[in-house]
Amino acid sequence: MAEGFCWFELLTDDIDAARDFYGKVIGWTEAPAPGDRAYHIFSAGKSPVAGLMRLPDEAKAQGARPSWMGYISCADVDAEVAAVSAAGGKVWRVPETIEGVGRFAVVSDPLGAAYCLWRDLVGQEPAEVPPMTPGHVGWHELFTEDVDAAMDFYAARYGWTKTQDLDMGPMGVYRLFATGDMAVGGMMKRPEQIPQAFWGYYFVVDALDAAIERVEQTGGTKLMGPAEVPGGAWIAQFFDPQGAYFALVAAKR
């Protein structure tokens, strides 16, 4: 069975500003995690969708900037860290257990895109929701040096499958991938203006134009959009006020 993204986390310089920004743009509410006042949870209604925490000093020292991170579930974090390293990936944070919650590590694939590994220890993983549910992640997108090599890595490690290649002309191929029965994300060659490989995440909103207006009124910066994509959805890409990249997707403008 394929393993997919199970959690998302914003590392930021300003918790209060992030709470205000994403609350207004996406409609999330926020509260400290039980037992850990330094970790916060974004929720859509009653459903937890993402974590929020201050960017650690040690990460800053390694060159990290405010960003969104995705967690991929796995059965054995320690074994998976060893396998990623053996495949040419990098280990940024060795496995660590959060007592009563889960075990995690931070790695990057052989082409440099960072992500986290996660093993739930208490059966509290977020429940699955229907595709394009507002407030949740609707798409996962990898910018990488080599689409074929990246697909091979994630297919071997997590059982992901290619569903379709879309021709983007001079920009190359946009490869759709699935972690189950339907496509949940895409991979494309990193444009020259993007300094390194990375994963980006699209949050679902009801209507895109109104959401773009909220982003701009709340201090975010639009990079691209609105643009219609195959299937009829609409997307736009942004930086939040602290500089973290994110994107929005909606069924209508």
pLDDT at 125 over 70: no
At residue 111 the predicted structure's pLDDT band, cuts being 50, 70 and 90, is: very high
3-state secondary structure of 210: helix
At residue 124 the predicted structure's pLDDT band, cuts being 50, 70 and 90, is: low
* Mean pLDDT along residues 64-86: 96
Say if CB 91 and CB 26 are below 8 A apart.
no
- Ranges 5-19, 24-38, 69-83, 155-169: which has the least confidence: 24-38
* Mean pLDDT along residues 109-128: 87
* H or E stretch at 57: helix 57-61
pLDDT, the chain, mean: 93
Task: Specify the amino acid at residue 198.
Answer: F
At residue 122 the predicted structure's pLDDT band, cuts being 50, 70 and 90, is: confident
Tell me what pLDDT residue 99 has: 86
Tell me what pLDDT residue 180 has: 86
pLDDT at 57 over 90: no
Give the separation between CA 201 and CA 204, rounded to whole angstroms.
10
Tell me what pLDDT residue 150 has: 98
pLDDT at 13 over 70: yes
* Tens of pLDDT, residues 161-207: 999 999 988 888 999 999 988 899 999 999 888 889 999 999 999 99
Give the separation between CA 225 and CA 248, rounded to whole angstroms.
10
- Give the predicted TM-score (pTM) of the model: 0.95
Percent of the chain with pLDDT over 90: 77
Tell me what pLDDT residue 128 has: 78
Q: How far is CA 175 from CA 135, 150, 160, 178, 215, in A?
A: 25, 10, 12, 10, 28
Domains of the chain: 5-120 (3.10.180.10), 137-250 (3.10.180.10)
* Mean pLDDT along residues 26-52: 88
